[in-house]
Structure 1
Amino acid sequence: MKIIFILIVVLALIGILAIVLNNKIIGKKNQVAQAFGSIEIYLKKRFDLIPNLIAILNKYLAHEKEILLKITELRSSAEKATEANEKIKASNELTKIMGGLNINVENYPNLKADKQFTTIEFELSDIEDQIAAARRAYNAAVTSYNNTVQMFPSNIVAGIRKDQDYTLLEIPKSEQKEINVNQLLNL
């Protein structure tokens, strides 16, 4: 009788532990989803500003249509992307081109003095900072989740649930090099 009671208590403790670990995994998974949602919000804000930026730039940079078309194309492909990594890749490419555009704007003193452009440029810079912070938050949430599903004893529950690791957002080495604005603008 005593053995049965001990066995029931042990099984109950294991059951409670499994429930706690399951809830912990669910919480971590939700944090990852929330962090990625934040990235999507900031990307949407950036996408919404781009048409305004392009309209202003069209006044000043009429002869540099190619870069404006590339920005529009990347914005469209990023909005249509369904996978997280596709969105991030398109976003990274857009960030690279926008950085080159900001450097090229230095050649246009009238544009730099335009209040609308200055406001949009500030907003874009602010959004880029927010995107970078959201990426860091996403990577922190992914690391926490991955640790949870990989470490004992929660890895047992994660294995039963068939939870997989998430991939950290990383900028490939090829995109970490300096931007050659002349090459971007075909000068």
Structure 2
Amino acid sequence: MEPILIVVIVLVVLVVIVGGYLLSTYNGLVKLNVRVDEAWSDITVQLKRRADLIPNLIEAVKGYAAHEKEVFENVTAARAATVNASTPAEAGKAENMMQSALKSIFAVAEAYPQLQANQNFLQLQAELVDTEDKIQASRRFYNGGVRELNTKIKTFPNTLFVRGLGFKEREFFQVDEPSAIAEPPKVQF
């Protein structure tokens, strides 16, 4: 074999290997990006579900504790912050507000035994606990996807070219006070 032919064959093999690596990396990043988008969508669905339960919860408690205006205003403000959150950082701040507001409304409810026995209130509690569990599960799934995507983006040699392909790191869904979401609000009496 001629030396030029060997060089051409080696170059073609290298181009095929590098091209295959780039294609594989690109497709892997696209899949991770879609998975993260899907996970964020799951979180927003659960946050919306919880936000939809809040007005009913307020009405149930308001029937027994109408004088607790500040508590209801805080819950309403937290609900609005949750509904309007469009990024994980905004949602994290809204989560802090929501957890604090829910704790205060259930603290008010503890003072009213008739409310604690109300079927509508008990059903809302159960739905809220279920939703809180789903939010936590969705959050873990989302953060896992973000971790995988960010790791792949930051890993050498990917870091040399992935930003040029339009991929960027995603932010985790974190809260300022992890203790606020360590467990769902206690709604059992």
Using the size of structure 1 for normalisation, the TM-score is 0.87
> 1:78, 1:91 within 8 Å by CA — same for their partners in 2?
yes
Q: Give the whole-Å Cα distance in 2 for the aligned partners of 1:92 and 1:141.
A: 22
Most deviating of 125-134 and 74-83: 74-83
> What root-mean-square deviation, in Å, do the aligned CA atoms of Structure 1 and Structure 2 show?
1.8
Q: Give the whole-Å Cα distance in 2 for the aligned partners of 1:81 and 1:167.
A: 14
Pairing partner for 2:62 from 58, 67, 77: 58
* 1:88 alignment counterpart: 92
The one-letter code sitting in structure 2 at the alignment partner of 1:15 is G
Most deviating of 55-64 and 83-92: 83-92
Q: What is the percentage of aligned positions where both structures have the same residue?
A: 29
The one-letter code sitting in structure 2 at the alignment partner of 1:158 is V
- Write the deviation string for residues 137-183 of structure 1: whole angstroms up to 9, x where unpaired: 1111111111111112332331332432222222224x637xxxxxx
Pairing partner for 1:13 from 12, 17, 23: 17
* 2:185 alignment counterpart: none
Alignment map for 1:35-74 (pairs within 5 Å): 35-74=39-78
Unaligned runs of 5+ in 1: 178-187
* 1:131 alignment counterpart: 135
Alignment map for 1:27-176 (pairs within 5 Å): 27-173=31-177, 176=179
Unaligned runs of 5+ in 2: 181-189
Aligned-residue offset at 1:75:
1.2
Higher helix share: 1
